Amino acid sequence: MLALLVTLSAVTLSGLASAHAAGSAHPDEWDRLLWIVLGLGTIVGVIVFAIMAVAIWRYRESSPYVRREPSTHNF
């Protein structure tokens, strides 16, 4: 949930910055600004996802609970 919140915040902030810059931008530059916003949002999303994946993996590895192999017989 935190990763989603951080990602949405970063995309919103980069969108606001681009919208502010677009106020003085020529209409032909809208496509370039859109790609900048989408690129920044994607980069931030990938970084946040990677950090969360590593954190979950490290938490699972350091867990004191023993994980059993899944049962192969039916009851």
Residue ranges covered by each domain of the chain: 1-9+29-61
- Sign, CA dihedral 43-46-52-55, equals negative
Which portions of the chain are predicted below pLDDT 70?
A: 1, 3-4, 15-28, 66-67, 74-75
Residue 26's pLDDT is what? 64
- This prediction's pTM: 0.48
Residues found in the chain: 75
The first and second tokens of residue 44, run together, are 């931030």
Residue 29's pLDDT is what? 73
Residue 55's pLDDT is what? 92
The first and second tokens of residue 23, run together, are 């106020």
The first and second tokens of residue 71, run together, are 């049962």
Helices 2-22 & 30-61 angle (0-180, nearest 10):
160
The first and second tokens of residue 68, run together, are 């059993």
The separation between CA 17 and the C-alpha centre of its own chain, rounded to angstroms, equals 19
Residue 13's pLDDT is what? 72
